[in-house]
Structure 1
Amino acid sequence: MAVDQQEVPGSTPSGATAARRSPTRRRAWVVLALLVCLMLVNYADKVVVGLAGVGMKEELDLDDSQFGVIQSSFYWLFAVGCVLGGWLGGKLPARWLLAGIAAVWALSLAPMTAQVGFTTIVACRVLLGLAEGPTTALAMQVAHSWFPAHKRAIPSSIVVAGAGIGPLIAAPILTWVILTYSWHAAFGVLAVVGAVVAVLWVIGGDSGPEAASGGHGTAANAPALPDHVPLRRLFSTGTLIGMAVLFFVAYANTSVKVSWLPLYLREGLGYDATTAGNLVALPYLGSAVAVILVGVVSAVMTRRGITNRITRGVLPGALVLTSGVCTIAFSSMDRGAPQMLLLALGSCLNSAGYGVAFAGLADVIPAKQRGTVFGIVTGVYSLGGIVAPLVIGTLVSSSESVAVGYGDGFLVLGVTTMIGAAVALLVVHPDRDAARLAAKS
């Protein structure tokens, strides 16, 4: 059953129904803010091991390969969590599902506050990855349930911006906690923050009015999607194939920088702990700004009649392609401001298109299937988070020097990123694929 237009944030109500619109719109932005908080904690949890890496390696006498296993272990069950969470997203209220997930984050971080061994660390990271796996997909599903299709680019980008804000805030604060107290204390701080965010979500978070709606086009004259499309047909579209590939290489790029960037700055380039902590924050600052800016640009282009093929397909693909070029370039440069500029720029461009890319995915997925499909896509691209940290760890430990190992690793990462982005540029076409799915309904 279609949702009344006046109940959809951003629509144009009439007469007596106008009073109903403002509370719904305000609630939409409150929920969006809570989703940003969830994403913030989600990515702070990811970056903490990289920040604590030097202390962990010294205390537990870990080599680079073992540390690579710790970083990679976060993603071992990440894909399982993505698919399971996406499936549950269509069956359980978002209020309780996301709160439960955040509570598991806190529980998985708590043991790290005490003296632990290699096996315990790996087990805790596996549990954390399982719980954090579905977060992005569920956050997007909830965000899209509060906004009509043609207005999702900016909200999607704001949710993704939380991924950049998390490390931006966490890096300097957690670095100070580690240097002042210990790396164990940093995990304790995150456990407490995760528990607080879980409580806040229970109080104010939930799905919106569009969660109960059927398929919606991206504009008034766009074809309406059927209520249900077989997954085989959905995943045979160029848009889902191309976006999965694009997300895979982009997430591999992101996971390497989350996992290894703090150690690269300290061990590979020789920066001290405080400087490295501050430098780590720069790419995330740029990413948080860039992802919102790209969302606004995409929304403006859509309002001016530019097709979703360009605004939600070509745009994110071109950004990731350029990010790959930047990654290749900084991998061969010496330490200094130009290298840091390219590193930060590459990270910004890599993340900037996530929000509009998710909006492009939503264009070809029926509303009731978004949780499941987002979960599967997230599970597929999370495999990049398993492979990339392991490859970097192997190259660093097997190279003639740490610096050479990091350089080779980022070179491989840049080339892979460019190839994946090129594939997406060729095959992603939301308008065409949505029309074909609607015609077969």
Structure 2
Amino acid sequence: MAVDRQEVPGSPSVTAAGSPVPAVKRRAWYVLALLVCLMLVNFADKVVVALSGVGMKKELGLDGSQFGVIQSSFFWLFAVGSVLGGWLGGKVRARWLLAGIAAVWALSLAPMVAQVGFTTIIACRVLLGFAEGPTVALAMQVAHSWFPAHRRSVPSSIVIAGAGVGPLIAAPVLTWVVEAYSWHAAFGALAAFGAVFAVLWLLGGDSGPEGARAVDRDVAATVLPERVPLRRLFSTGTLIGMAILFFVAYANTSVGVSWLPLYLREGLGYDATTAGRLVVLPYLGAAVAVILVGVLSGALTKRGVGNRVTRGVLPAVMVLVSGVCTVAFSSLDRGVPQMTLLVIGACLNSAGYGVAFAGLADVAPAKQRSTVFGIIAAVYSLGGVVAPLVIGGLVDAGESAAAGYGDGFLVLGVTMIIGAVAALLLVHPDRDAAKLAAAS
């Protein structure tokens, strides 16, 4: 049986007492900060179309269904990029891979600075989606490579928090750029930001010492085999349940990114400035909630609570309650109660992502983690394909814009509730890790 490198005195990642050396620990948090910036750019790129939506629809004469196609097109090759990026994650050094991905982002955004047509916009969004497909999976792989298994909940949650910080910063800034200049200028600003990140990552980003370990060990000391056939891995209840949970949660996330600014303006009647401020609230709450839940999960783990609760039940319950909130606010008129439910739902939906990824890492062997994360990302990206199209169709079919949006969020909420219940029944990281270890 392989020895856990973390416990070997003299290992580059530990002191004689078995603790991480200060230099490695500082580097770990520096890389984590870069990964948060990566997620910030990633989600700012997603939300820019929604923030530009009113001007874009007017300039190009688009209806709701056509705009839904633009939003959905981002995810057409997202799954392909996720799987390919996950495969490359085990073969190409993270320093070069993530820098290259960020450079492609910048290239896909640059044409939008000029006058473009419907087809060009779709082509650019498809390329951007392909390049962004593996981002979350690779960011998690790199983050986990700097921290041992029992310390991953908080770093995972911090990385996911970057997804909330992205729109949080982007919404008011890009709204100002759109109003002061044009929606084309907003795309130009993001293209420049992506290029700057690529350079910063080349200078300081890379995988950590934990990524070199042949085996991994969870809190209960279950030693996973070096490799498990993917068919066996994806027949475990944990991976099936997590795939379902991520699918419905990401459907909610994609609707928020692609339609929330338009919902606030077209469905609820807020002006551009007010909508730009209100759209920040779900992301602000989500960024805080993700970190708090990561801390809570880590604290429960230290107290001996099993991974089924901390990394399975906890995120599933959050998505379940988020679905209930989504159903509830879909029938309310605009006002404080409605916005409160909307924000709570967004917070809970996002908060479970980080600890759920830690649950995936409990079952996936270290050498296969990037592949597993990539496949899961490919599965949940389908939620990003379907949800914007459904919302766009329902908006056009509704008696009014408000009624159409209400129907769309009602369908979304019910879907989330069903998916969360399935995950509650299926996810059990400790049990499935033990089965994989016993079968090796």
TM bin, normalised by shorter chain, reads: over 0.9
Q: Deviations over 1:28-77 (max 9, x none)?
A: 00000000000000000000000000000000000100000000000000
Task: Specify the SS of the correspondent of 1:167.
Answer: helix
State the alpha-carbon separation in 2 of the partners of residues 125 and 58 from structure 1. Answer: 19
State the alpha-carbon separation in 1 of the partners of residues 308 and 30 from structure 2. Answer: 31
Aligned pairs for 1:130-145 (under 5 A) are 130-145=130-145
Corresponding residue for 1:332? 331
The question of whether the paired residues in 2 share the 8 Å contact of 1:160 and 1:354 is answered with yes
Aligned amino acid, residue 60 of structure 2: L
Corresponding residue for 2:392? 393
- 1:246 is the counterpart of 2:245: yes
Q: CA deviation at 1:7?
A: 8.4
Corresponding residue for 1:228? 227
The question of whether the paired residues in 1 share the 8 Å contact of 2:9 and 2:16 is answered with no
* Identity rate, percent: 76
Q: CA deviation at 1:13?
A: 3.2
Q: Deviations over 1:243-274 (max 9, x none)?
A: 00000000000000100000000000000001
Q: CA deviation at 1:6?
A: 6.6
State the alpha-carbon separation in 1 of the partners of residues 87 and 216 from structure 2. Answer: 21
Corresponding residue for 1:375? 374
Corresponding residue for 1:77? 77
Corresponding residue for 2:169? 169
Task: Specify the SS of the correspondent of 1:239.
Answer: helix
State the alpha-carbon separation in 2 of the partners of residues 7 and 155 from structure 1. Answer: 24
Q: CA deviation at 1:14?
A: 2.5
State the alpha-carbon separation in 1 of the partners of residues 9 and 335 from structure 2. Answer: 53
- 1:5 is the counterpart of 2:7: yes
Task: Specify the SS of the correspondent of 1:14.
Answer: coil
What is the total number of aligned residue pairs between the two structures?
A: 437
Aligned amino acid, residue 367 of structure 1: A
Aligned amino acid, residue 382 of structure 2: L
Aligned amino acid, residue 304 of structure 2: G
What are structure 1's unaligned runs of at least 5 residues?
none
Task: Specify the SS of the correspondent of 1:353.
Answer: helix
State the alpha-carbon separation in 2 of the partners of residues 388 and 351 from structure 1. Answer: 17
Corresponding residue for 1:265? 264
Corresponding residue for 1:255? 254
State the alpha-carbon separation in 2 of the partners of residues 378 and 299 from structure 1. Answer: 24
Q: Deviations over 1:134-167 (max 9, x none)?
A: 0000000000000000100000000000000000
State the alpha-carbon separation in 2 of the partners of residues 26 and 232 from structure 1. Answer: 38
State the alpha-carbon separation in 2 of the partners of residues 399 and 304 from structure 1. Answer: 51
Corresponding residue for 2:424? 425
Task: Specify the SS of the correspondent of 1:217.
Answer: coil
TM-score (norm 2): 0.97
Q: CA deviation at 1:5?
A: 3.1
Task: Specify the SS of the correspondent of 2:52.
Answer: helix
Q: CA deviation at 1:398?
A: 1.3
Task: Specify the SS of the correspondent of 1:363.
Answer: helix
Aligned amino acid, residue 315 of structure 1: L
Task: Specify the SS of the correspondent of 2:45.
Answer: helix
The question of whether the paired residues in 1 share the 8 Å contact of 2:28 and 2:146 is answered with yes
State the alpha-carbon separation in 1 of the partners of residues 87 and 399 from structure 2. Answer: 46
Q: CA deviation at 1:80?
A: 0.2
Aligned amino acid, residue 50 of structure 2: G
State the alpha-carbon separation in 2 of the partners of residues 388 and 30 from structure 1. Answer: 35
TM-score (norm 1): 0.97
Q: Deviations over 1:83-111 (max 9, x none)?
A: 00000000000000000000000000000
The question of whether the paired residues in 2 share the 8 Å contact of 1:283 and 1:348 is answered with yes
State the alpha-carbon separation in 1 of the partners of residues 237 and 296 from structure 2. Answer: 24
Q: Deviations over 1:173-224 (max 9, x none)?
A: 00000000000000000000010011101111000001110222212x4210
The question of whether the paired residues in 2 share the 8 Å contact of 1:8 and 1:146 is answered with no
Corresponding residue for 1:356? 355
User: RMSD between aligned alpha carbons?
Assistant: 1.4
Corresponding residue for 1:438? 437
Corresponding residue for 1:287? 286
* Residues 7 and 317 of structure 1: CA distance in aligned 2, closer, same or farther (over 3 Å): farther
State the alpha-carbon separation in 1 of the partners of residues 36 and 214 from structure 2. Answer: 26
Aligned amino acid, residue 42 of structure 1: N
- 1:30 is the counterpart of 2:43: no
Of 14, 24, 36 in structure 1, the residue corresponding to residue 16 of structure 2 is: 14
Q: CA deviation at 1:8?
A: 11
* Residues 8 and 324 of structure 1: CA distance in aligned 2, closer, same or farther (over 3 Å): farther
Q: Deviations over 1:366-418 (max 9, x none)?
A: 00000011000000010000000000000001111111000000000000000
State the alpha-carbon separation in 2 of the partners of residues 64 and 83 from structure 1. Answer: 31
Corresponding residue for 2:183? 183
Aligned amino acid, residue 346 of structure 1: G
Task: Specify the SS of the correspondent of 2:227.
Answer: coil
Aligned amino acid, residue 174 of structure 1: L
Corresponding residue for 2:50? 50
State the alpha-carbon separation in 2 of the partners of residues 5 and 32 from structure 1. Answer: 23
State the alpha-carbon separation in 1 of the partners of residues 7 and 42 from structure 2. Answer: 33
Task: Specify the SS of the correspondent of 2:326.
Answer: helix
State the alpha-carbon separation in 2 of the partners of residues 124 and 363 from structure 1. Answer: 36
State the alpha-carbon separation in 2 of the partners of residues 56 and 336 from structure 1. Answer: 27
State the alpha-carbon separation in 2 of the partners of residues 427 and 381 from structure 1. Answer: 17
State the alpha-carbon separation in 1 of the partners of residues 14 and 324 from structure 2. Answer: 43
Corresponding residue for 1:410? 409
State the alpha-carbon separation in 2 of the partners of residues 141 and 262 from structure 1. Answer: 32
Q: CA deviation at 1:3?
A: 2.3
The question of whether the paired residues in 1 share the 8 Å contact of 2:73 and 2:125 is answered with yes
* Residues 57 and 115 of structure 1: CA distance in aligned 2, closer, same or farther (over 3 Å): same
Query: Which shows bigger deviation, 224-233 or 395-404?
Result: 395-404
State the alpha-carbon separation in 2 of the partners of residues 427 and 22 from structure 1. Answer: 40
The question of whether the paired residues in 1 share the 8 Å contact of 2:6 and 2:14 is answered with no
Aligned amino acid, residue 312 of structure 2: G
What are structure 2's unaligned runs of at least 5 residues?
none
The question of whether the paired residues in 2 share the 8 Å contact of 1:8 and 1:147 is answered with no
